[in-house]
């Protein structure tokens, strides 16, 4: 049985009060596609207002701190996201791994904190251009998964993996269908064999330059269970056709 597709928008550092109307439009239009799970991962400060504006629609964060609480100026705990109305979060996005120098171990601690708190999780992995061109993409992603996926997490929160090649994010470039399939299959096998996770129940999303014009082809690839969408998630006119493409496969 194929898994229900998840199309999650990653708004990154975009979103003001004036964008709540766009969020309302996206949430309302998503209701036409009950066969797809749709979510928007927003800046932490917008979550509470968005969750109030679109009750029942999945709102997420983009990062959490690994600690429950404490002296961590400027950081957001998983319980705070939950309290604000989020039910999921991204961790380990390559922009944070790069700009905030987040290590695999740190991402793993964040992932554990989110899941244990009850937040569904989108854990990002993805190779550099150098690794792709050097023929070491699968190896690089397997190492990241090994280092960032927490073991033996208790609770009901759902895990999803987002495969996001760094060189495909915001560039308009995407891997070939064969390359995407190879990576998603490798991730599924690793989940099952090395991590003891029921790989068949974990959604593996593709992310990096997903848009309406390529979404149908991406969603038709075996083992692609959805997408993490950056730039094309900011406007309903760009995002909803991606949701429709997920519903159509
Ligand atoms: P993009 O970003 O869709 O703008 O390439 C994807 C992401 O970074 O999650």
pLDDT digits 0-9 by tens, 156-206: 999 999 999 999 999 999 999 999 999 999 999 999 987 777 778 899 999
Give the span between the Cα atoms of 185 and 182, in whole angstroms. 5
Inform me whether the pLDDT recorded for 1 exceeds 80. no
- Probe ligand 1: pick from 207, 215, 241, max atoms within 8 Å of CB? 207
Residue nearest to atom 3 of ligand 1 (CA): 230
- Determine whether 93 is an active site residue: yes
- Determine whether 164 is an active site residue: yes
What is residue 200's predicted lDDT score, i.e. its pLDDT?
Answer: 81
DSSP state of 62: S
CA of 214 to the centre of ligand 1 (A): 13
Long-range Cβ contacts of 64-67 (<8 Å, 24+ apart): 64/89, 64/91, 64/110, 64/113, 64/114, 64/117, 64/119, 65/110, 65/113, 66/106, 66/109, 66/110, 66/112, 66/113, 67/113
Query: Which is the catalytic residue, given 93, 95, 106, 184?
Result: 93
CA of 40 to the centre of ligand 1 (A): 13
Least Cα distance to 55 among 95, 33, 27 occurs for 27
Residue 247, SS3? Answer: helix
Give the span between the Cα atoms of 120 and 143, in whole angstroms. 23
CB of 210 closer than 6 A to ligand 1? yes
Record the pTM: 0.97
Q: What is the pLDDT of residues 130-162, one digit of tens each?
A: 999 999 999 999 999 999 999 888 889 999 999
CB of 207 closer than 6 A to ligand 1? yes
CB of 229 closer than 6 A to ligand 1? yes
Residue recorded with tokens 């961790």 = 91
Task: Say if CB 146 and CB 108 are below 8 A apart.
Answer: no
């Amino acid at each position: 049985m194929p898994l229900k597709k998840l199309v999650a928008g990653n708004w990154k550092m975009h979103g003001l009060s004036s964008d709540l109307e766009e969020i309302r439009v996206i949430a309302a239009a998503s209701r036409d596609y009950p066969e797809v799970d749709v979510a928007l991962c927003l800046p932490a400060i917008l979550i509470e207002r968005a969750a109030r504006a679109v009750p029942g629609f999945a709102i997420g964060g983009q990062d959490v701190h690994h600690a429950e609480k404490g002296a961590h100026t400027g950081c957001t705990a998983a319980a705070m996201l939950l309290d604000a109305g989020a039910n999921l979060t991204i961790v380990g996005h390559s922009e944070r791994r790069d700009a905030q120098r987040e290590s695999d171990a740190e991402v793993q601690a964040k992932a554990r904190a989110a899941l244990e708190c009850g937040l569904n999780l989108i854990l990002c992995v993805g190779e550099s251009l150098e690794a792709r061109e050097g023929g070491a993409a699968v190896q690089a992603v397997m190492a990241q998964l090994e280092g960032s996926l927490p073991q033996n997490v208790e609770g009901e929160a759902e895990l999803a993996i987002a495969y996001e090649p760094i060189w495909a994010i915001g560039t308009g470039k995407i891997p070939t269908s064969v390359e995407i399939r190879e990576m998603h299959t490798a991730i599924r096998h690793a989940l099952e064999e090395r991590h003891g996770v029921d790989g068949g129940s974990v959604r593996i999303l593709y992310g990096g330059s997903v848009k309406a014009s390529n979404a149908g082809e991406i969603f038709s690839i075996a083992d692609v269970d959805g997408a993490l969408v950056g730039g094309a998630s900011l406007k309903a006119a760009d995002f909803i056709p991606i949701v429709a493409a997920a519903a159509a496969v």
